[in-house]
Amino acid sequence: MIDLFMPFRSLLKLGNVCTDNNIFRMHYKLTVIILLVFTLLVSTKQFFGEPIHCMSDSDKDHDKEAMNSYCWIYGTYTLKSSLAGIEGKHIAYRGVGPDKGIQAEQIKHTYYQWVCFVLLGQAAMFYTPRYLWKIWEGGRLKALASELGLVGQIFLLDLFLGGAFRNYGAAVAAFTHIPKVPNNFLDYELVNPMDQYFPKLTKCWFRSYGPSGSMQHKDRLCVLPLNIVNEKIFVFLWFWLIFLALLSALAVLFRILVISMPPLRTVMIMGQLRFVKRRVISRIVRHFSFGDWFILYLLGKNMNPLIYKDLIIEVSKELEKRPNNMV
């Protein structure tokens, strides 16, 4: 599993040449590192530990390993009717209770075996715009699209969790800030969103044949220790992706303003220089296309300020010498 992350070693290196901005680096560098760390946390327990443990009637149950594998592969479920109530009074555990066989009452849980792959896939998707940027460097439409593509990641996780991700972080934050009231004054307890979407105890039916060939149904209570990690990972990802989405929206708005307002480009170049007259820079911005200006702006981020100042002055002089019909 670690070998899969070897191509991403370059993320830990700081390049000498800067061809992007800080928000873009938060996408392809910081976010990718976070997702890879989460992937390692989940996959270590999932592939080298015991991600699920289904309780049996006795320690001598020969179907124990088969039942664990079966319930992990085909999924478990919780009951909607058993989510509300006080544990130990109305229900035994959150989401666990007598099963009446009503399909609408069952909340299926099959996502947990795919969490590590989804996180790894998202890390690759966050890095893809950086890879394309290195190929298409200078293409403003590609940079614009890469920042807008963050919103798709949020909808992808929401689809993966069956619509639970869109409000997950807000629901957890609201639950943690609700004043605690003694159970004596309530006939029920509010449901923790982390217990609802990432249950630690679930139910699983296992069918087998008895010695005489008749069908046997075994109702088992399964413990999912991996969900203790999953619930916190997705809370963090919810807040982090919302934060990145807001920053990306501001970055896209700023980029649109830069494309449509040449005076703003002049101000940005002036912010890189000292003691250069505005009309000198305005002449360059007026005659340069956005792509040419962008290359010039990147040079300012990577060159010595004194050499960059001389370059700007020389470019302005050359433009001043040219006839208007040759510019």
pLDDT of residue 52: 85
pLDDT greater than 90 at residue 322:
no
Q: Of 308, 296, 302, 303, which Cα lies nearest the Cα of 17? A: 302
Domain boundary among 226, 255, 284: 255
227 and 86 together in one domain: yes
The total number of structural domains in the chain stands at: 2
Q: Which pLDDT score, from 0 to 100, does residue 8 have?
A: 54
> What pLDDT digit, counting tens, does each position of 97-106 carry?
777 767 667 8
CA distances in angstroms from 213 to 56, 62, 216, listed in the order given: 21, 17, 9
> What range does the domain containing 164 cover?
2-255
Question: Which residue reads 């989401």 in tokens?
Answer: 95
Which pLDDT does position 324 carry in this prediction? 59
Residues 64 and 119 in one domain: yes
User: If you average pLDDT over residues 163-187, what whole number do you get?
Assistant: 73
Indicate if 78 and 217 belong to the same structural domain: yes
Same domain assignment for residues 188 and 271: no
**Domain boundary residue, one of 218, 237, 255:** 255
Same domain, 250 and 265: no
199/106 Cα distance (integer angstroms) = 13
Q: Which two tokens stand for residue 230?
A: 């999953």
Judgement on whether residues 12 and 147 belong to the same structural domain of the protein = yes
Q: pLDDT (tens digit, 9 = 90+) per residue, 219-252?
A: 788 888 888 889 999 999 999 999 988 888 888 8
Q: pLDDT tens, 55-64?
A: 876 655 667 7
pLDDT for the residue numbered 185:
45
Q: Are 197 and 160 contacting, i.e. CB atoms less than 8 angstroms apart?
A: no
Same-domain pairing of 58 and 107: yes
Are residues 312 and 181 part of one domain?
no
What percent of the chain has a predicted confidence (pLDDT) above 90?
5
Q: Which of 104-113, 131-140, 194-203, 299-308 shows the lowest mean pLDDT across its residues?
A: 131-140
Does 265 lie in the same domain as 119? no
Percent of the chain with pLDDT over 70: 76
Residues 178 and 312 in one domain: no
Are 246 and 296 contained in the same domain?
Answer: no
225 and 279 inside one domain? no
